[in-house]
Amino acid sequence: MTDPLDDARSMDDALTRDPGLADRVRGRARKKLISLRLPQWQIDTAKRIAKRGKRHYQVLMQGWIAKGLKRELGR
């Protein structure tokens, strides 16, 4: 059996050694899970496009949403 405090200490050490990792962890903590209903063809198409780029389709779609939001803000 391992001590949970040991795990927490090793995580603290990892975050201290890699500031980029700390930023990614903080960034994930700020995200909120939502549910979005899309037509099946849109999901299937996103999966096919993502597979060509060897990415996850959710990450690809998040990027599209971010680009669209930035474009709309610029108008």
pLDDT digits (tens, 9 = 90+) for 63-75: 999 999 999 999 8
Residue type, 15: L
- Alpha helical stretches, state H, the chain: 4-17, 19-29, 40-52, 57-73
> Which pLDDT value is given to residue 26?
75
Closest CA to 59 of 26, 39, 31: 31
CB 46 within 8 A of CB 57: yes
Q: Which fold has domain 35-75?
A: Arc Repressor Mutant (1.10.1220)
Statement: residue 4 has pLDDT above 70: no
Domain boundaries in the chain? Answer: 1-31, 35-75
| pTM given for the model | 0.59
CB 43 within 8 A of CB 57: yes
Which tokens hold the place of 21? 């990792």
pLDDT digits (tens, 9 = 90+) for 22-48: 777 777 777 889 999 999 999 999 999
